[in-house]
Amino acid sequence: MELRQLRYLVTVVEEGSFTRAAARLHLAQPGLSAQIRQLEKELGQPLLDRSNRSVTPTEVGRSVLPYARAALAAADAVRQTVDEHAGLLRGRVTLGLVSGATSHAFDVASFLADFHSVHPSLEIALTEDTSERMQAALLSGEIDIALLGPTGEEPPSGLSYRTVIDTPLASAVAPGDPLLTPTDRTSVPLTDLRDRPLICLPRGTGVRAALERACAQAGFRPRVAFEAASPHVLAQLAARGLGVAVLPLGEEEPDLGGPLRTLQIVEPRMRARIVLAWPAVGPASPAAKVLLDRLREALPKAATP
């Protein structure tokens, strides 16, 4: 009995077809069938029922499958342990990123390039989505780690967070906007935005969730006229006088540049956070653990406001 034969058996059962299993394993179908028959001959029992269009395990095959999977998992763990001691890191890890999660203070592309140069055998995938969907993907195991804007006051059960950016929310308007009267004002009450067309990040983002919570507490619904996933696009729309952009304002960026004026939103003051998030039980693989450790070293830790 060989490990490859057990892998072939598991793959055929998962695919329900010798043809699909052979394609997945990059083998010729006759060779795959011959290996399974050799395994059945050695064990003295048929493991697969080939009488129907879909190949299914026999009763003996169903009993064997958990042990076959355990043997394959153990073999993979042995290889992983050896690789770690040899200074290698293999596998695949997926990092989620919310649009606008980082600024010039953290260069994601350079970070991933440096990480890849140290761990060239590790496959890294980067995906971008809303914070809401990435929280769900972390909980389901679809992604390993994420930089996102939390959509609630507290992390969902099952996730751990470390805040890396914590900034006030501000309104950005073009010159001549009524919000800029008097000219020396530096802030604006949230209620002043009640009847204004707003330009904001889409639903499912932390900034949008914070805005909607605050507006609900103030007794009105925000009138969002334009949505975009990029804060830069929001600023461009506001600069053309299409509405009031609601954006996170970093302390290192006193204004958004160009013709825009920014006023911090008060009464209540709102803040937008970007957090490093991962499953509370810990990373699912050694590869994910190494990437998480490196991100925790590279990303700043936000001070408590």
112, part of any domain:
yes
Residue 222, pLDDT > 90, answer yes
Can you give the pLDDT at residue 233?
87
304, part of any domain:
no
Residue 188, pLDDT > 70, answer yes
> Are 75 and 49 found together in one domain?
yes
Amino acid, single-letter form, for residue 218 = A
305, part of any domain:
no
> Are 217 and 128 found together in one domain?
no
109, part of any domain:
yes
Q: pLDDT per residue over 269-295, tens digit each?
A: 888 888 899 999 888 787 888 899 989
pTM to 2 decimal places: 0.62
Q: What is the mean pLDDT of residues 286-305?
A: 79
Give, for 39, the enclosing helix (H) or strand (E): helix 29-43
pLDDT cut 90: percent of the chain above it: 42
> Are 169 and 269 found together in one domain?
yes
Name the DSSP letter for residue 62.
H
pLDDT cut 70: percent of the chain above it: 90
Nearest to 276 by CA among 116, 111, 120, 114: 111
Considering its fold, how many domains does the chain have in total?
3
Q: Lowest-confidence range among 104-113, 182-191, 196-205, 293-302?
A: 104-113
User: In the structure encoding, which two tokens stand for residue 230, read together?
Assistant: 């990029």
